[in-house]
Amino acid sequence: MRMPLHRRHRGRKPIKLRNIPFASIGTVRYNIFEIQYMILKESMMNTHTIRAQKSIALIAHDARKQDLVNWVEKNESVLKRHFLCGTGTTAKMVSEQTGLPVKAYRSGPLGGDQKVGSLIADLAVDFLIFFWDPLTSQPHDPDVKALLRIAVLYNIPVAMNQATADFLLSSSLMDRDYVRELIDYEGRIGS
């Protein structure tokens, strides 16, 4: 029986398979492209820079929409320096009543919350202001829970009431770049 190729060449120059150089790390052999990919993936997955001009998602349940609009009006001087987006009616109300440009996605129950969640996962939304109604059951509660889970998973700042939103907006980090750490959950679940 022949000895496996990786054992026959131990201690010699790295072998080339189809002109791709290989390297050994411990007892595992990787081609150079796999190693470069692992290094790139590790560097990309550990941190992400939230730029000084942030992408802020604005979401509010029906009973809190006017509260959010009033809060945006009060903080217009800060918010106008950032990119704003939001779900359906909330984005429309904020844009119409404040004059600020707000990119509108679908209504929350029609997939808007999931869309914002996917933008967070794609690192396209840096910040979430979500005035939710704690006294009313929502038909799309699973979507809301999924959105909040994604926000925590990707370590973005989240405000779910006016006091927290005020603290976040008045932070010295609002006007500069911020490097946030991302936990490698993929490595933890073994995919």
Q: Which residues are catalytic?
A: 113
Chain-centroid distance, C-alpha 160 = 17
Both tokens of 60, joined, read 């509010």
Which amino acid type is present at position 51?
R
Strand order in the sheet with 20-25: 16-17, 20-25, 28-31
CB 134 within 8 A of CB 14: no
Beta bridge partners of 59: 130
Q: How far apart are CA 69 and CA 63, in angstroms?
A: 12
